[in-house]
């Protein structure tokens, strides 16, 4: 008590009250005298003096901590000196008068404790003001433990934690003090602490007054365009991560795709959330120089943070520790540009909450854990045109077609667009079309400006590949735009696992892409770059690589044929012995693979046609894949491949190949109802075949011509040519000529003969195993049997429906259209009109899709008649007129006669004269053909004459 009131006289009554409270013993005065006597023996002489009013303890200078504390705090307060505050606070080793329960003592001690708290708060404010946040967290945490209800202390602790990057701990302290105030006092925190909490939630806590914001990011481009969805994903992922830990976003993509531009754009959007530091380091992962090692990268980053060189340790481990310590006290954004590998980044990544790392790389950094990856595609066409417009100005808007062509030739690659746009911007007299002309067929040489070029960007990625991978990439320059792993194995001579591994490696560095499983592509500009590299390959190596690739395509296409048809293919193109049986064995589904390869088959033909040693592949490949492509309706592919092959083999003087190609070119014209062209081609084919020893091939060509004669209404010539074929090919059991003769008998209503030939045709196709031809024969037989009176319409329909299902399973649209048409006619027999009209309409739709005018004409006529029967005259008239237009365009006598007859019947009541004209023309044609519909037309004309009479 005497120490708490040093230098002041305390009466016996005050001392007695401090010791015994309100009820002192009778001997209190004596006991106090005894205690004072003992104290005098322990203290220096004269420390305690007696006074008539009581006792006074006067310590010497510096002997009383409380007095020294008061002196130091008074001086520190006057000088605003944090060091003096710290010396004053160091005098404290717990609460004042700890363990003494005396009420008087406690009152005096509480005053000292409040002075202690005030000194703590003033010292902390000074330290916060000088930016020494990280040094405060420990002392303030201990102070808050001793004084849990002091709001100012809690606020200071929150600020120190938040600025040190410990945002979660800062928010947790607010929750603690709020709970303590509510539990002990029934109060919420005051407005100042609440405002601080709100600011922290918004990430808006200001920097310490002594802390200068660090801004080291490069300049952002002012014409950033597009990428809206990707930016939303990145920002959303960063928002979702919150302050639970560091946020790491990785942007990878091919050279020139705009990775750094995007990262800088995102950094600009989010910069306010990371007020303390914006750092940047180029890791040189894709430069001509060696990538930056982690130690050198840390040196760059620490210097950006303002760390003095002498403080930066030489060892990597110590340098990492210092980096993490410096980063922990800041809310920082760090852009790691051009990362080479995950290992290069591992020690550089932030480890604590409150920081954002943005990483760019040409490589997919699959070795980094806990990241949000985004692979950057090229720009969409609309985005690319917008970027070009922002660079080159309003000229781009004025020429949308030319602008779209620039975008196409640049492949949507931002670097290419920037270089092209810059060239246009610096040529004020150029139009966009002038730029298109300058780009020409070889784009890369035009895409350069000063020290920037697309070629250089690609070359860095290429040079960083191992030797084996560089060879694979070079050889890919020989490929079409798309390819699978089998193609790469055949091209490079690698095993299938090694080829797959090479492709995976090239994907990881964004030199190729895999838009769907086992379908690989090079960006158009990368393909041009690879092709330039491939042009330097030695000719022998080049030819052998191409031979391997083309042979795989040939063997795989041939494998789509049924065994019987495969023998026919070999009869035309020679024995098929694969160069790489292992690759052919790996083709699980040849038909599905042909479907995937179909967009590139023309390219394979061109590749083969360009190499004299490989020219045979140019015509053998389209022949090997003809049946599947033709049956599935890919007529454009069949035509273009064979046209290109024809040019090549004519130049090479290969007459058997010329004859083969002419035959299959004719098949396209036949399917498109261009019968005159088809006949011309087959006649040239037959003329060549007559000079060659292969009479089987001659017979097949003649049988095909007979089919054309059948379709073009030259039925007498068809029958005559068919019998000539039968004499020429008697040893082959007349399989080829059966089709044409059976069709003629069918159209002429010669049912017994047609029935016999269709049965023979069905047996032939069952022997071959051709499901589409089996189905075709089945529905034809059903129609003939019904027309002959052998089966009911219902029985015939069931057989046609079974055949139809088979045709749909086999994806044979031409057969499906015919089956739908015949089904519709059989349904009409029993007046099942809704179902009949639906089937007939489906036949018309398929024929229209296939651009088969002759069949479309017949199917429109059939549908028109059905609509007329149900009373829908407007729709019927429209469909019948459409049928006549299609028939006239097809120039096929039989469909034209049926179309004239159909429209003539419909016009009998409305326009008898036109009806008579059409019906007479139909009768003339049908009579010449001996067609089975002739009696129906004659009956219609008789009706007209009766009405006229």
Surface-to-core class of residue 78, CB atoms within 10 Å of its CB (0-12 exposed, 13-18 middle, 19+ buried): exposed
- Nearest one of 670, 673, 635, 666 to 886, comparing CA atoms: 673
- Structure tokens given for 373: 């990856």
Query: In this predicted structure, which of 19-33, 724-738, 789-803 has the lowest mean pLDDT?
Result: 724-738
87 — pLDDT class (breaks 50, 70, 90): confident
C-alpha span between 210 and 196 (Å, rounded): 19
Q: Can you give the pLDDT at residue 196? A: 87
Task: Examine the pLDDT at 253 and tell me if it is beyond 70.
Answer: yes
Write down the pLDDT at residue 4. 64
Query: Angle at CA 242, nearest 5°, toward 237 and 248?
Result: 55
Across the range 751-766, mean pLDDT stands at: 90
Query: How confident is the model at residue 165, as a pLDDT?
Result: 64
Q: CA-CA-CA-CA torsion for 446, 452, 454, 455, nearest 10 degrees?
A: 90
Question: Is the per-residue pLDDT at 731 higher than 80?
Answer: no
Sheet with 9-10, side-by-side order of all strands: 9-10, 54-57, 48-51
| Model pLDDT for residues 259-292, shown as the tens digit of each residue | 999 999 999 998 888 888 899 999 988 776 789 9
> What percent of the chain shows pLDDT beyond 70?
93
Q: Which of the pair, 117 or 505, is modelled with greater confidence? A: 505
Candidates 516, 548, 530; CA nearest to 476 is 530
Residue range 453-507, pLDDT digits in tens: 899 889 989 999 999 999 999 999 999 989 999 999 999 999 999 999 999 999 9
Phi–psi pair at 655, nearest 5 degrees: -70, -40
pLDDT digits (tens, 9 = 90+) for 842-882: 999 999 998 888 899 999 999 999 999 999 999 999 999 99
Predicted TM-score of the model (pTM): 0.70
pLDDT-derived band at 597, boundaries 50, 70, 90: very high
The model's pLDDT over 503-539, given as tens digits with 9 standing for 90+, comes to 999 999 999 999 888 899 999 999 999 999 999 999 9
Beta-carbon neighbour count of residue 501 at 10 Å? Answer: 14
User: pLDDT tens for residues 151-173?
Assistant: 888 988 888 888 766 778 888 98
Residue 210 has pLDDT above 60, yes or no: no
pLDDT band at 243 (very low <50, low <70, confident <90, very high): low
Q: pLDDT at residue 561 above 60?
A: yes
- pLDDT of 65 higher than 90: no
Residues 533, 558: Cα–Cα separation, whole Å: 32
**How many angstroms separate the CA atoms of 691 and 695, rounded?**
10
888 in Cβ contact with 922 (< 8 Å):
no
Place of tokens 């057989």: 799
Q: What are phi and psi of 453, to 5 degrees?
A: -155, 155
* Closest of 63, 57, 64 to residue 2, by C-alpha: 57
Question: Which three-class secondary structure state does DSSP give residue 748?
Answer: helix
pLDDT bracket for residue 385 (50, 70, 90): very high
Query: Stretch 892-907: mean pLDDT, rounded?
Result: 94
Predicted confidence (pLDDT) at residue 97 exceeds the cutoff of 60 = no
Collapsing DSSP to helix, strand or coil, 245 comes out as: coil
Percent of the chain with pLDDT over 90: 53
Structure tokens at 104: 């008087």
Q: Which pair of structure tokens corresponds to residue 689? A: 């075949």
Report the mean per-residue pLDDT for the chain. Answer: 88
894, pLDDT greater than 60: yes
Q: What angle do CA 420, 425, 427 make, to 5 degrees?
A: 100
Please report how many Cα atoms fall inside a 13 Å half-sphere around the Cα of residue 575, on the Cβ side.
2
- Supply 263's token pair: 């990262």
Q: How confident is the model at residue 907 (pLDDT cuts 50, 70, 90)?
A: very high
Q: Which two tokens stand for residue 342?
A: 């995950």
Cα(753)–Cα(759) distance, integer angstroms: 10
Which among 497, 482, 481, 473 has a CA at the least distance from the CA of 583? 497
Evaluate whether 252 touches 365 at the Cβ level (below 8 Å): yes
How many alpha carbons fall within 13 Å on the CB side of residue 579?
18
List, in sequence order, every residue forming a beta bridge with 375; answer none if it has no partner: 252
Here the tokens at position 106 are 């406690």
Give the least confident one: 439-448, 474-483, 908-917: 439-448
Residue 417: half-sphere exposure toward Cβ, Cα within 13 Å: 30
Predicted confidence (pLDDT) at residue 441 exceeds the cutoff of 90: no
Query: Rounded to 5 degrees, what are φ and ψ at 578?
Result: -70, 140
Residue with tokens 């008539």: 52
Q: Answer yes or no: is pLDDT of 189 > 60.
A: yes
The per-residue pLDDT for 733 is 43
Q: Residue 218's CB: how many other CB atoms inside 10 A?
A: 12
Classify strands 452-453 and 448-449 as parallel, antiparallel or unpaired.
antiparallel
Closest CA to 620 of 569, 577, 559, 685: 569
DSSP state at residue 378: P
Residue 521: strand pairing partners:
482, 513
The reported pLDDT for the residue numbered 797 is 96
| Contact (Cβ atoms closer than 8 angstroms) between residue 351 and residue 324 | yes
């Amino acid at each position: 008590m005497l120490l708490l009131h040093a230098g002041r006289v305390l009466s016996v009554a005050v001392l007695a009250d401090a010791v015994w409270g309100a009820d002192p013993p009778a001997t209190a005065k004596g006991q106090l005298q005894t205690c004072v006597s003992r104290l005098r023996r322990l203290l220096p002489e004269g420390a305690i003096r007696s006074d008539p009013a009581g006792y006074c303890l006067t310590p010497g200078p510096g002997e009383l901590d409380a007095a020294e504390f008061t002196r130091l705090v008074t001086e520190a307060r006057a000088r605003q000196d944090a060091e003096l505050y710290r010396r004053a606070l160091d005098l404290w080793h717990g609460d004042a008068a700890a363990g003494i329960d005396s009420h008087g003592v406690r009152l005096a001690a509480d005053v000292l404790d409040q002075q202690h708290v005030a000194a703590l708060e003033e010292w902390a404010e000074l330290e916060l003001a000088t930016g020494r946040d990280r040094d405060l967290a420990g002392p303030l945490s201990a102070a808050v433990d001793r004084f849990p209800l002091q709001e100012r202390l809690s606020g200071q602790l929150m600020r120190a934690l938040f600025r040190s990057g410990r945002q979660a701990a800062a928010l947790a302290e607010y929750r603690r003090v709020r709970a303590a105030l509510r539990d002990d006092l029934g109060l919420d925190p005051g407005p100042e602490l609440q405002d601080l909490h709100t600011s922290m939630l918004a990430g808006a806590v200001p920097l310490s007054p002594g802390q200068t914001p660090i801004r080291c990011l490069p300049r952002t481009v002012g014409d950033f365009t597009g990428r809206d969805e990707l930016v939303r994903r990145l920002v959303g992922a960063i928002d979702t991560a919150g302050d639970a830990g560091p946020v790491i976003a990785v942007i990878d993509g091919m050279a020139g795709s705009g990775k750094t531009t995007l990262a800088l754009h995102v950094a600009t959007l989010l910069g306010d959330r990371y007020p303390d530091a914006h750092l940047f380091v180029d890791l040189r992962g894709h430069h001509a120089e060696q990538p930056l090692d982690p130690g050198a990268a840390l040196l760059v980053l620490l210097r950006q943070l303002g760390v003095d060189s002498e403080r930066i340790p030489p060892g990597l481990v110590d340098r990492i520790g210092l980096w993490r310590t410096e980063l922990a006290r800041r809310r920082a954004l760090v852009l790691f540009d051009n990362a080479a590998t995950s290992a290069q980044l591992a020690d550089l990544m932030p480890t604590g909450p409150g920081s954002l790392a943005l990483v760019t790389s040409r490589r997919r950094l699959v070795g980094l854990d806990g990241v949000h990856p985004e692979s950057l595609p090229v720009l969409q066409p609309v985005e690319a045109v917008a970027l070009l417009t922002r660079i080159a100005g309003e000229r781009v808007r004025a020429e949308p077609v030319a602008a779209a062509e620039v975008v196409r030739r640049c492949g949507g690659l931002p670097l290419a667009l920037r270089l092209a746009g810059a060239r246009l911007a610096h040529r004020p007299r150029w139009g966009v079309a002038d730029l298109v002309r300058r780009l020409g067929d070889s784009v890369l040489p035009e895409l350069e400006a000063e020290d920037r070029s697309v070629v250089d960007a690609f070359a860095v990625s290429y040079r960083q590949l191992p030797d084996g991978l560089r060879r694979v990439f070079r050889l890919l320059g020989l490929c079409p735009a798309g390819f699978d792993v089998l193609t790469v194995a055949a091209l490079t001579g690698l095993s299938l696992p090694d080829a797959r591994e090479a492709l995976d490696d090239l994907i990881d560095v964004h030199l190729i892409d895999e838009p769907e499983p086992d379908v690989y592509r090079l960006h158009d500009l990368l393909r041009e770059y690879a092709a330039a590299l491939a042009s330097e390959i030695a000719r022998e190596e080049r030819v052998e690589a191409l031979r391997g690739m083309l042979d795989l395509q040939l063997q795989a296409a041939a494998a789509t044929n049924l065994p019987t048809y495969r023998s026919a293919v070999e009869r035309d193109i020679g024995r098929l012995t694969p160069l790489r049986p292992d690759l052919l064995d790996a083709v699980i589904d040849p038909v599905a693979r042909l479907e995937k390869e179909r967009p590139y088959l023309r390219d394979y033909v061109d590749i083969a046609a360009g190499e004299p040693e490989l020219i045979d592949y140019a015509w053998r490949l389209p022949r090997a894949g003809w049946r599947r492509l033709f049956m599935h309706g890919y007529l454009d592919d069949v035509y273009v491949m064979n046209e290109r092959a024809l040019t090549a083999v004519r130049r090479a003087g290969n007459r058997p190949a010329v004859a083969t190609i002419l035959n299959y070119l004719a098949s396209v014209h036949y399917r498109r109802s261009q019968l005159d062209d088809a006949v011309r081609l087959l006649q040239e084919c037959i003329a060549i075949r007559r000079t060659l020893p292969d009479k089987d091939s001659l017979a097949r060509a003649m049988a095909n011509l007979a089919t054309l004669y059948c379709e073009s209404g030259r039925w007498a010539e068809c029958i005559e040519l068919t019998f000539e074929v039968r004499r020429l090919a008697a040893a082959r059991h007349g399989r080829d000529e059966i089709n044409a003769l059976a069709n003629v008998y069918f159209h002429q209503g010669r049912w017994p003969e047609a029935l016999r030939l269709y049965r023979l045709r069905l047996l032939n196709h069952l022997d071959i195993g051709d499901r589409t031809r089996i189905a075709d024969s089945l529905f034809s037989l059903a129609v003939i049997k019904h027309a002959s009176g052998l089966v009911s319409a219902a029985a015939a329909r069931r057989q046609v429906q079974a055949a139809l299902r088979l045709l749909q399973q086999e994806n044979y649209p031409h057969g499906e259209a015919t089956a739908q048409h015949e089904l519709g006619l059989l349904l009409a027999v029993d007046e099942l009109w809704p179902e009949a009209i639906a089937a007939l309409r489906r036949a018309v739709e398929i024929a229209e899709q296939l651009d088969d005018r002759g069949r479309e004409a017949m199917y429109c006529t059939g549908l028109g008649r059905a609509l007329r029967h149900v009373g829908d005259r407007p729709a019927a008239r429209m469909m019948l007129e459409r049928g006549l237009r299609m028939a006239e365009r097809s120039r096929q006598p039989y469909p034209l006669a049926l179309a004239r007859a159909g429209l003539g019947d419909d016009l009998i009541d409305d326009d008898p004269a036109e009806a008579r004209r059409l019906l007479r023309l139909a009768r003339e044609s049908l009579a010449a053909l001996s067609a089975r519909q002739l009696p129906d037309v004659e009956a219609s004309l008789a009706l007209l004459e009766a009405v006229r009479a």
